[in-house]
């Protein structure tokens, strides 16, 4: 048995040994698990090795920014060629790491403001992309073929044992720390505050057994109010589309559970539920269970009794007190503060909801869409995971079943699947007169230029069940062929080049067959779509609805 | 603003108030968070209310059986109409709850041995099914529309604050507890052992902040070695199929990361990697990263250096010491013992792996398959989640890309997606001469009888990329039409009724076009497929390979 020989030769705990060696080396700089703030750069240089896979918690909102600002100060002659793993690349120092030669390769999910610079660094040969993921995929790979050596994370408070309180902003932290903590990786968490004993923490979100070091940051971690939309920017066209969404989709298919994107279109839906929705007698009948960040614009719907539950991907600055005061709606701990969890929310948003509705920047004639535009490697975030039909789903809900093709053949009907509703809600033209409907997605050329094998498509056409524009709704799930899907898309694409392809007779037939509806087909008068329908017209109204519990960040205050 | 009026009237912490009332009531029976073993029935009667949604941890392996045996002893006049939520229904008392009128409705994922009785209880009107899910979906709904009131879970040890050490069998515990702990649900964990202080726990898997009560069970929780397959039952036909899998799928598509089912077919693959795979020079080139329970039959491949990592859904009885001695391969904590996590493993298995390969009981002419056979509501477990093409995936690997349809049109190629490899590996006839290929799946009639809207299909035909039988491999991902898929399936379906439909000329053409291969097309001689290729021929050999670290349960010991 050859195995016995190898058994005696091979070392099976290399990672543990390497970690222990590093822990021994830094022990002279640390006070137990506590790294003194001033020592962080030195300690990082000793705990990380060149070539290591390093997770840096850049989240949608929360940023381990003390650690990223510290990592960028290490000596590139000591520490180089790091393989960075980041859910979200959101800060300039994230990419300074590459310019300085500290890091070389990156696997990420979302780039946002740094998307143009990533493209440039790639072109300059200073950065190599492993792959661009959705959040869920990136977390998944941490357990398979991207097992991290080091995690740099962030929380609100820690005790001297290393127990962590993340507060409302748990976000990606558990998903990032668990794979490292159980593979002899090194887990370092920056916190705003250190306490002596676990009893002084409001609660424990990450147990000390999973954490190697904590460090008090020079200032509280950066957090961005990414999901706050000021109702004052909502236009009548958004309200028209919101009315169509409610009548032509939510009620029609009996949508009970859902996720909203962050555009003004879906914000308008949230804000007309207590007015227009109420007038239709829909309260308690539709959209009761949400997977969603704590959008301030959901406050009026919550206060007027539309919402039964909200499970949050992340937090939202200013919503802390409001959320804490509504524990029947939001998921909060014994201490009273919220716990968000992006990994679990992505799972809920993929598998447990009836509908995803969001916007995009470009849609082609087949219905493929992308937010990647010229020169920008923006990444995917969570949208493709929420915005596809999860074919691994097996439980039925009325909305899901409503997408099924009923056949005259009984067996075929039993073998037909329902679908998640995936709704694209876009104006045919965006601000600045840019057409949303295009003949060719910029994503294709971005892929060619960046050497990607597949174009970065956010949502594929065959996953879109509904396309909603100011012109009307195309019920794409009913399309019997690619050609019919194209005709339906053209019918609601307005005066864009795609829309101008439409044939009036065809569109008329599509309307008669119920494949496409215009506002008048739904009994909606365009003139009724006014801002008067908004339950809150500005941020101050939202504060009023919340009885002063919502505390908007300064940039949203105009009073 | 109508909201302000409602704000003052509505109570927003009903769940918290109700919980506090119950905690106050039971305080006379409990010692802090510790429920005395003898008081459990009384306390359950007071902590649970009729109609509550109650999660009972029946896992694939681990069972909160002290709590289930206690729950069945409550007075049905006090406690009735419970809505049970159970990943796995595996014990008789799980269904006794329904016969006694304590529970009324059930949402579950897998039934196994209890599947026949569920059908009977359903027919007798004693049990109502919410839905049958995959594991991932069931966890997902706990955050959306199945928010639990009470969780009954199991761990190895607890301290007097309520910190839990789950040991290797973490399994579903975090997924079940988190939604309750953060929605003012009541979390009760049975443990084998209680210690005074957290410092006496090997590690903390679930922090005390998430737990309300612990109770020492009358005996250690029940755990079943569900994934142990004795190599002595492997037949030459399994080895032939394993050789085809390696040459015709693993190498052909460059499969790096994967999940194996638990049949003897995939066991044979695991056991010929160190022999047949070695002779082909494949070590280090294929199947390096696994998401898998700690299968004992993987030991020889691990010992001979084929395996880089294994992330586990659950544990496997007898594998504890072996796993603990191989921390570079398995995910273990600082304490040295494994942590499994079914929720995260399901995510990894869905999104991060190249291939799922498993068996089934019935396949129809279109390739749809099901393990549901006459009268049995067996449920889905995890297979549909692992065994579908995750259309929300956006990162590419060589194997995934290899499933893409390359077009002469460059744009179409950029818009084409890869696919997860989903391999069905079945003998055309099973033990007892039952045909695997059938004209009509039993699942259809089971659905009709149980009033299910959709037949319980395990894996849909259009998700299957490869069908492997003892006859050959059908590369279904290449099928250009449903008819071609049917022809390819018939070509490898042997002398079943589906196979007899095949046309020899068509099969010949399919072979010439590379759509179907027979062993000889792969250079495999049927006579070479002997048990001599197995790196371990029985359980004792596995123990030898493990240097005595693997300690098989008594029922697998024959020496």
DSSP letter, residue A176: H
A294 backbone φψ class: left, alpha, beta (φ>0; ψ -120 to 50): beta
**Mean pLDDT over residues B312-316, rounded?**
95
Report the DSSP pairing between strands B257-260 and B289-291: parallel
Residue-wise pLDDT tens digits, A509-552: 999 999 999 999 999 999 999 999 999 999 999 999 999 999 99
Of B333, B348, B535, the CB nearest to A143: B348
Q: Which helix (H) or strand (E) holds A123?
A: helix A115-123
Residue A100 pairs with which residues in a beta bridge?
none
The β-bridge relationship of strands B103-110 and B82-88 is parallel
Question: In the block, which residue shows the tokens 């394993």?
Answer: B242
Angle at the Cα of B270 from the Cα atoms of B267 and B275, rounded to 5 degrees? 125
Structure confidence at residue A300 as a pLDDT band (50, 70, 90): very high
A151 to chain B, minimum CA–CA distance in Å?
15
Q: Which residue of B has its CA nearest to A385?
A: B392
Q: Give B372's pLDDT tier (boundaries 50, 70, 90).
A: confident
Answer positive or negative: Cα dihedral of A518, A520, A523, A525. positive
Percentage of the residues of chain A whose pLDDT score is greater than 70:
98
Q: What is the pLDDT of residues A205-215, one digit of tens each?
A: 999 999 999 99
Q: Which residue of A has its CA nearest to B454?
A: A414
Q: Which domains does chain B have, with CATH numbers?
A: 10-223 (3.40.1080.10), 231-543 (3.40.1080.10)
Please give the pLDDT value at position B406. 86
Q: Stretch B21-30: mean pLDDT, rounded?
A: 98
Q: With 50 as the cut, is the pLDDT of residue A48 above it?
A: yes
Give CA–CA dist A509/A519, Å, rounded.
16
Residue B57 near residue B80 (C-beta atoms within 8 A): no
Q: What is the reported pLDDT for A13? A: 97
Which of A19, A363, A391 to substitute to test the interface with B, most B CBs within 10 Å? A391
| E-assigned strand segments in A347-455 | 355-358, 362-363, 369-370, 421-425
Does residue B365 contact residue B486 with C-beta atoms inside 8 Å?
Answer: yes
Measured in angstroms, the CA of A397 and the nearest CA of chain B are apart by: 9
**Residue B114 three-state SS:** helix
Q: What pLDDT band is residue B1 in, cutting at 50, 70 and 90?
A: very low
Cβ <8 Å between B440 and A343: no
Residue B434's nearest CA partner among B503, B375, B360, B485 is B360
- To test the contact with chain A by mutation, choose from B212, B391, B441, B543 the residue with the greatest count of A C-beta atoms within 10 A, namely B391
pLDDT of residue A375: 75
Q: What is the ipTM of this complex?
A: 0.96
**Best mutation target, A198, A202, A347, A367, to test chain B (most B CBs within 10 A):** A347
Which chain B residues touch A544 with a CB distance below 8 Å?
Answer: 1, 3-4
Judge whether residue B5 has pLDDT over 80: no
Here the tokens at position B76 are 């049905």
Each residue of B195-205: pLDDT tens digit? 999 999 999 99
- Tens of pLDDT, residue by residue over A413-450, are 999 999 999 999 999 999 889 999 999 999 999 999 88
pLDDT for position A2: 44
Task: Kindly give the residue spans of alpha helices, DSSP state H, lying in B100-195.
Answer: 115-123, 135-141, 173-181
pLDDT at A186 over 90: yes
Return the pLDDT at B8: 55
For helices B264-272 and B236-245, the axis angle rounded to 10 degrees is: 70
pLDDT(A265) > 80: yes
pLDDT at A6 over 70: no
Are B391 and A388 inside 8 Å of each other by CB? yes
pLDDT in tens, A64-86: 999 999 999 999 999 999 999 99
Contact A347, B394 (CB under 8 A): no
Q: Is the pLDDT of residue A8 over 70?
A: no
User: Which is it for strands B164-165 and B473-474: parallel, antiparallel or unpaired?
Assistant: unpaired
Q: Do A389 and B391 touch (CB under 8 A)?
A: yes
């Amino acid at each position: 048995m050859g195995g016995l020989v190898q058994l005696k030769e091979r070392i099976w705990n290399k990672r543990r040994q390497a970690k222990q060696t590093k822990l021994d080396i830094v022990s002279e700089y640390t006070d137990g698990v506590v790294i003194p703030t001033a020592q962080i750069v030195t300690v990082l240089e000793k705990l990380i090795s060149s070539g290591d896979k390093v997770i840096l918690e850049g989240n949608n909102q929360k940023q381990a920014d003390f650690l990223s600002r510290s990592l960028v100060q290490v000596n590139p002659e000591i520490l180089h060629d790091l393989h960075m793993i980041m859910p979200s690349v959101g800060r300039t120092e994230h990419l300074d790491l590459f310019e300085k030669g500290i890091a070389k390769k990156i696997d990420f999910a979302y780039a946002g403001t740094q998307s143009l610079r990533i493209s440039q660094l790639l072109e300059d040969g200073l950065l190599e992309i492993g792959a661009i993921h959705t959040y869920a995929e990136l977390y998944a790979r941490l357990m398979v073929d991207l097992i991290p050596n080091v995690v740099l994370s962030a929380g609100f408070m820690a005790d001297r044992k290393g127990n962590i309180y993340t507060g409302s902003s748990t976000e990606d932290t558990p998903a990032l720390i668990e794979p490292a903590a159980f593979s002899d990786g090194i887990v370092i968490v920056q916190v705003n505050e250190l306490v002596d004993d676990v009893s002084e923490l409001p609660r424990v979100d990450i147990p000390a057994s999973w954490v190697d070091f904590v460090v008090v940051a020079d200032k509280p971690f950066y957090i961005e109010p990414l999901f706050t939309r000021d109702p004052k920017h909502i236009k009548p066209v958004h309200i028209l589309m919101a009315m169509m969404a409610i009548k032509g989709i939510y009620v029609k298919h009996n949508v009970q559970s859902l996720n909203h994107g962050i555009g003004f279109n879906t914000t308008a839906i949230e804000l007309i539920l207590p007015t227009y929705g109420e007038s239709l007698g829909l309260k308690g009948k539709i959209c009761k269970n949400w997977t969603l960040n704590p959008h301030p614009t959901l406050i009026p719907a919550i206060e007027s009794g539309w919402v039964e539950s909200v499970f949050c991907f992340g937090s939202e600055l200013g919503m802390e007190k409001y959320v804490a005061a509504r524990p029947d709606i939001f998921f909060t701990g014994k201490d009273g503060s919220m716990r968000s969890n992006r990994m679990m929310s992505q799972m809920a948003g993929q598998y447990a909801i009836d509908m995803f509705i969001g916007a995009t920047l470009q849609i082609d004639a087949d219905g493929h869409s992308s937010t990647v535009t010229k020169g920008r490697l923006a990444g995917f975030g969570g949208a493709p995971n929420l915005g596809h039909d999860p074919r691994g789903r097996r439980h039925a809900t009325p909305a899901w079943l409503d997408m099924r093709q009923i056949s005259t053949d009984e067996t075929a009907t039993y073998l037909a699947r329902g679908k998640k509703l995936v709704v694209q809600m876009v104006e045919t033209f965006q601000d600045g007169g840019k057409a949303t409907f295009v003949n060719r997605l910029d994503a294709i050329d971005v892929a060619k230029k960046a050497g990607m094998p597949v174009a970065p498509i956010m949502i594929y056409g065959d996953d879109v069940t509904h396309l909603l524009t100011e012109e009307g709704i195309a019920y794409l799930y009913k399309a019997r062929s690619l050609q019919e899907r194209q005709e339906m898309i053209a019918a609601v694409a307005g005066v864009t080049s795609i829309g101008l392809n439409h044939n009036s007779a065809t569109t008329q037939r599509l309307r008669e067959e119920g494949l496409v509806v215009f506002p008048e087909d739904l009994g909606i008068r365009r003139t009724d779509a006014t801002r008067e329908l908004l339950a809150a017209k500005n941020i101050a109204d939202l504060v009023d609805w919340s009885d002063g519990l919502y505390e908007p960040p300064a940039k949203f205050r105009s009073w």
